[in-house]
């Protein structure tokens, strides 16, 4: 009888585990995880997002980093969509230009509500909040993942494609992906400014606080936190420093002033940064370590109140759904970096058109932020001399682990060097990375292939259609009627951009309305491996010369038969009529895109190589 009862009990438990079959499963609370789930479902995949937190949006919302860094002039994809929603909530861009660190500031709870609305309105997407995964297993069809809902129900999710949407690359590590953690050596990456020896040092993290102006004598003042020492903040700002170069304390506070008289507290160096290599800890060990980071932030806030006299400011009690009124998660600037099909390194940023692998051709997301590392709280961190950089494109292969099929990376764990992580880790970039991961996962699920088998050009085509950028052209906005074709031709190198390091918002100029020079035209064809025989003394290209070059290129590329068809002849005639004497770079791009169609007709691999370059 006992054996029978036990058997019935075990049978009942087994029956309580519900099985759910989907195309794409996203695990994690990161910004990129939310974006990936949205895009995968929009692309037609039956999608599930499992988020351990009650808020979506990751560092933008749950971590409280609601002063966005970079991409103000590059409103790509879901980043542009999210920003438009912020503008709509606050009645325009001027209303969110409240601080000086960014052009876009908002309350984290507003960002969380926007993500909730977008996710909730996305067909084909099921969201589980405050839910953890318990196990991850590879199967012949993809993945089987157990999750435990807050009310105790267990669900086994079977998915063709799995996306790591965590800040630290936890999912990739759990399933056995190879990764790097800490600073790479110079020999590993070929980056001349990297340290000679690799180490395990990552960037400082921050536990963000949002302060609110309660008015005189109304703010909730903190009790002195454990370990408080005001000497820790010597020379933080001019009220506690004799150095005439010290920043004004009010100016420091307004660094990330938010709408509605709130302030994001995320100040580096002598502020509330905290050194912790969280990725090296287990999920069980992290809460205690994070508590120390929280205490660091409370000490800083106490100093602001008691030593600097900001007694009208206190922790906002209407911001985060937490007992301590701090963010729901820390702001991780760096964690694991998975080894992908390619690794995006400093030379690819500095000289995109002059590296052994032309990864720029495979771009799926863009960024313009300088290389910015936070190591102020770790004296063991070596000082690195970061060069100024132009804006950049992230290669598609950086999102695909080299040694695991049917897994994609949607957040900071993409395959980049430690140095380049300082530019790729920012919120607008990670939103695009997540969007690209979601698109690739949906395509791979529909085609029943691994992401590494996808067509790079088809991925790029679909991202363009979803509002994305492939190349970071500062002077070609999405409102430009030729935006798509200039992005396509720019991704072949037949027209190259000119990079410009510029303050905290770097640029790449395409100069679409400048005249086309013979040198630029020939240099573009050399990017495709064509050294054309046509010679001229002309400096500027006219329509007839352009067609001569194009005809030769078509012949070299084996397109001569199709090139001489009636449709192309009509296109050439119409194009010549539209061009006024001298060919502009925009005119040339249009002609290439309509006739030679290099983006559409000549596939590339994830290393950016054409078929004739792979031999």
pLDDT in tens, 304-313: 999 999 999 9
Residue 580: the pLDDT is 79
Query: Which helix (H) or strand (E) segment is 485 a member of?
Result: helix 483-490
pLDDT digits (tens, 9 = 90+) for 220-231: 999 999 999 999
Residue 329: the pLDDT is: 98
Q: What pLDDT shows up at residue 3?
A: 41
Rg (CA), the chain: 26
pLDDT at 374: 97
C-alpha to C-alpha distance for 56 and 318, rounded to whole angstroms = 17
Q: Residue with structure tokens 């950086």? A: 398
Token pair 């006992």 in the structure block, residue: 2
Percent of the chain at pLDDT exceeding 70 = 96
Cβ pair 425, 334 in contact under 8 A = yes
Over residues 417-442, the pLDDT tens digits come to 999 999 999 999 999 999 999 999 99
> pLDDT band at residue 9, thresholds of 50, 70 and 90?
very low
**What residue ranges define each of the domains in the chain, with the CATH number in brackets?**
18-198+334-465 (3.50.50.60), 205-315 (no CATH), 483-613 (no CATH)
- pLDDT surpassing 60 at residue 63: yes
Query: In percent, how much of the chain has pLDDT > 90?
Result: 92
For the beta carbon of residue 142, count every other beta carbon within 10 angstroms: 24
Query: Which two structure tokens, joined as six digits, stand for 545?
Result: 């010369």
Contacts 24+ apart (CB under 8 A), 575-584: 575/543, 576/543, 576/547, 579/543, 581/542, 582/515, 582/516, 582/540, 582/541, 582/542, 583/515, 583/516, 583/540, 583/541, 583/542, 583/543, 583/546, 584/512, 584/513, 584/514, 584/515, 584/516
What confidence score (pLDDT) does residue 342 get? 98
Tokens of 287: 């809460």
Residue 407 to residue 441: CA distance in whole angstroms: 8
Q: What is the pLDDT of residue 466?
A: 98
Q: What does pLDDT average to over the chain?
A: 95
Is the confidence at residue 445, as pLDDT, over 90?
A: yes
151-181 residue pLDDT tens: 999 999 999 999 999 999 999 999 999 999 9
Residue 562 has what pLDDT?
A: 66
- Dihedral pair phi/psi, residue 200, rounded to 5°: -105, 20
Burial class from Cβ neighbours inside 10 Å (0-12, 13-18, 19+) for residue 77 reads: buried
CA dist 302 and 199 (Å) reads 34
Whether residue 90 is predicted with pLDDT greater than 70 in this model: the reply is yes
- Under 8 Å CB-to-CB from 302, ≥6 apart: which residues? 222, 224, 225, 228
The Cα 113–Cα 82 span in angstroms is: 11
**Angle, CA of 389, 392 and 397, to the nearest 5°:** 130
- pLDDT tens, 191-207? 999 999 999 999 999 99
Quote the pLDDT of residue 123: 98
Which pLDDT belongs to residue 566? 64
Residue 6 has pLDDT above 70, yes or no: no
Confidence of residue 2 (pLDDT cuts 50, 70, 90): very low
Q: Give the DSSP letter of residue 95.
A: G
- pLDDT for 1: 39
User: From CA 594, how far away is CA 570, in angstroms rounded?
Assistant: 11
Burial state string for 511-524 with b = 16 or more CB within 10 A and e = fewer than 16? bbeebbbbebbbeb
Look at residue 571 in the predicted model and tell me its pLDDT: 84
Which residue is listed with tokens 């030379």? 347
The pLDDT of residue 354: 97
- CA 601 to chain CA centroid, Å, is 28
Q: How far apart are CA 158 and CA 136, in angstroms?
A: 10
The region of weakest confidence among 15-19, 94-98, 211-215, 356-360 is: 15-19
- 356: pLDDT confidence band, cut at 50, 70 and 90? very high
Torsion from C-alpha of 581, 587, 593, 597, nearest 10 degrees: 40
Rounded mean pLDDT of 605-609? 98
**Distance separating alpha carbons of residues 447 and 443, to the nearest angstrom:** 6
Phi, psi torsion values for 21, nearest 5 degrees: -105, 130
For residue 12, what pLDDT is reported?
A: 42
Low-confidence winner among 73-82, 273-282, 534-543, 598-607 (lowest mean pLDDT) = 534-543
pLDDT, tens only, 553-587:
999 998 876 666 667 788 888 898 889 789 999 99
The predicted structure's pLDDT at residue 563: 66
User: pLDDT band at 217, cuts 50/70/90?
Assistant: confident
Question: What whole-number distance in Å separates Cα of residue 386 and Cα of residue 371?
Answer: 7
Q: Which residues pair with 500 in a beta bridge?
A: 507
pLDDT of amino acid 213: 98
User: Residue 420 has which token pair?
Assistant: 């380049």
Sign of the Cα torsion 43, 48, 52, 55 reads positive
Cα–Cα distance list, 4 to 10, 16, 257, 295 (Å): 10, 19, 66, 54
> Given a cut of 90, is residue 615 above it in pLDDT?
no
CA atoms within 13 A on the CB side of 601: 14
Which residues 6+ apart lie within 8 Å of 263 measured at CB? 210, 211, 212, 213, 253, 254, 256, 257, 313
């Amino acid at each position: 009888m006992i054996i029978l009862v036990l058997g019935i009990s075990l049978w009942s438990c087994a029956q309580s585990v519900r099985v759910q079959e989907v195309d794409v499963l996203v695990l994690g609370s990161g910004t990129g995880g939310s974006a990936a789930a949205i895009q995968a479902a929009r692309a037609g995949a039956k999608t599930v997002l499992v988020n351990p937190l009650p808020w979506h949006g990751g560092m933008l919302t749950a971590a409280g980093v609601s002063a966005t860094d970079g991409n103000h002039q590059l409103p790509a994809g879901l980043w542009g969509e999210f920003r438009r929603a912020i503008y709509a909530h606050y009645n325009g861009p001027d209303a969110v230009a409240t601080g000086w660190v960014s052009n876009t500031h908002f309350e984290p709870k507003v960002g969380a509500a926007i993500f909730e609305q977008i996710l909730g309105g996305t067909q084909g997407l099921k969201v589980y909040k405050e839910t953890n995964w318990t196990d991850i297993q590879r199967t012949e069809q993809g993945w089987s993942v157990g999750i435990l809902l807050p009310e105790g129900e267990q669900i086994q999710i079977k998915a063709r494609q799995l996306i790591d949407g965590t800040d630290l690359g936890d999912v990739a590590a759990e399933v056995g992906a190879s990764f790097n953690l800490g600073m790479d050596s110079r020999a590993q990456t070929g980056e001349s400014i990297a340290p000679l020896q690799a180490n395990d040092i990552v960037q400082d993290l921050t536990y963000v606080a949002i302060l609110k102006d309660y008015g005189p004598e109304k703010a909730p003042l903190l009790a002195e936190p454990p370990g408080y020492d005001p000497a820790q903040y010597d020379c933080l700002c001019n009220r506690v420093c004799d150095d005439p170069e010290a920043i004004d304390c009010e100016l420091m506070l307004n660094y990330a002033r938010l709408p509605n008289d709130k302030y994001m507290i995320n100040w580096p160096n002598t502020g509330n940064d905290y050194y912790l290599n969280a990725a090296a800890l287990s999920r069980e060990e992290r809460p205690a370590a994070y508590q120390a980071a929280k205490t660091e932030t409370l000490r800083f806030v106490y100093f602001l109140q008691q030593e600097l006299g900001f007694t009208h400011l206190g922790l906002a009690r209407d911001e985060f759904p937490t007992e301590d009124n701090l963010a729901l998660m820390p702001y991780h600037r760096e964690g694991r970096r998975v080894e992908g099909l390619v690794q995006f390194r400093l030379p690819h940023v500095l000289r995109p058109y002059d590296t052994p692998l032309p990864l720029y051709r495979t771009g799926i997301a863009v960024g313009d932020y300088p290389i910015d590392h936070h190591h102020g709280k770790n004296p063991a961190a070596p000082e690195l001399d970061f060069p100024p950089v132009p804006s950049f494109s992230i290669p598609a292969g950086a999102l695909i682990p080299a040694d695991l099929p049917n897994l994609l990376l949607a957040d900071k764990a993409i395959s980049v060097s430690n140095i380049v992580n300082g530019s790729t880790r920012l919120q607008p970039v990670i939103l695009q990375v997540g969007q690209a991961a979601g698109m690739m996962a949906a395509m791979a699920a529909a085609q029943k292939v691994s992401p590494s088998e996808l067509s790079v050009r088809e991925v790029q085509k679909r991202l363009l259609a979803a509002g994305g950028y492939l190349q970071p052209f500062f002077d070609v906005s999405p409102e430009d009627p030729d935006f798509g074709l200039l992005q396509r031709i720019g991704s072949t190198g037949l027209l190259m951009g000119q990079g410009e390091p510029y303050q905290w918002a770097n640029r790449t100029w395409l100069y679409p309305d400048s005249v086309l020079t013979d040198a630029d035209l020939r240099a573009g064809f050399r990017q495709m491996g064509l050294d054309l025989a046509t010679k001229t003394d002309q400096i500027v290209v006219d329509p007839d010369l352009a067609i001569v070059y194009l005809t030769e290129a078509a012949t070299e590329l084996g397109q001569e038969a199709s090139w001489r068809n009636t449709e192309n002849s009509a296109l050439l005639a119409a194009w010549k009529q539209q061009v006024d004497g001298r060919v502009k770079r925009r005119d040339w791009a249009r002609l290439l895109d309509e006739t030679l169609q290099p983006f559409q007709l000549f596939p590339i691999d994830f290393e950016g190589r054409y078929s004739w370059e792979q031999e």
